[in-house]
Structure 1
Amino acid sequence: MEKDQVLDILAKHREELNRHGVKSIALFGSLARGEDSAKSDVDLLVEFDPSQQKIGLFDFIRLRYRLEDILGTHVDLVTPNALKLKLRDQILEEAIYAS
């Protein structure tokens, strides 16, 4: 899957993602850098809208599964707060946000 395909699919499902409490979603990792292989997963950075109800673990897992259904591949879903400090700046710098 190409990065533009992923970003287009995410943009097309923006309304649905908003209903899941998503404020923003971005692609990062090997696919964003153009270093992906056939075995690569899709790494997504998600921020939730603080004005909506707090997202629990089961909501987070449901969102990940829904994203896997939409994209047709394994998704690694993380929030900015869950990023390891050593990698945080690099990930935030390379993140490509879906419109």
Structure 2
Amino acid sequence: MKPCRDWSAAWSSGSWPREPRAPDLATVLGTLRTQAQPLKQRGLVGLWVFGSVARGDARADSDVDLMAEFDPAAEMSLVGLASLRADLSDLLHAPADLMERSALHPTVRAAADREAVRVW
């Protein structure tokens, strides 16, 4: 997975959508599933989409809410988590909000679980 950090280059090359579009669940799932192996190599053992994308009411300015489980042996640092979040944003062409499932307050986790769609 090679992230494109140069937004202006992506825009001018035509690889970035000209019109902002709402992220849709099918596209998000397909994109993440095609990148499952490189993401798993970074320590992800479970990944879910939740929030507006999972509910089908995302807008063009919506982010993609992701809930993740990490391999404890991966020892994900804050820098590693921030890097992964940035790479996911690049991959999805939308801001990604990545949360570690085990770090969520039980009430928040229960609400997220109710609407979550498992990627893997």
- With normalisation by structure 1, the TM-score equals 0.91
Shift of 1:16: 0.6
Unaligned stretches of 5+ in structure 2?
Answer: 1-22
Aligned amino acid, residue 32 of structure 1: A
Structure 2 SS opposite 1:39: coil
1:23 aligns with 2:45: yes
- With normalisation by structure 2, the TM-score equals 0.76
RMSD over equivalenced CA pairs, Å: 1.2
Match of 2:24 in 1: 2
Match of 1:97 in 2: 118
Match of 2:108 in 1: 87
Structure 2 SS opposite 1:58: helix
Match of 2:33 in 1: 11
Match of 1:45 in 2: 67
Determine which of 44, 54, 67 is the counterpart of 1:32: 54
Deviations 1:20-48 (A, max 9, x none): 10001110001101121111100000110
Structure 2 SS opposite 1:26: strand
Structure 1 SS opposite 2:48: strand
Question: Aligned pair count?
Answer: 98
Whole-Å separation in 1 of the counterparts to 2:48 and 2:86? 17
Aligned amino acid, residue 14 of structure 1: A
Q: Which has the higher contact order (CA 8 A, sep 6+)?
A: 1
Larger radius of gyration: 2
Aligned amino acid, residue 23 of structure 1: V
Whole-Å separation in 2 of the counterparts to 1:38 and 1:53? 34
Determine which of 95, 99, 104 is the counterpart of 1:78: 99
Q: Percent identity?
A: 35
Aligned amino acid, residue 106 of structure 2: L
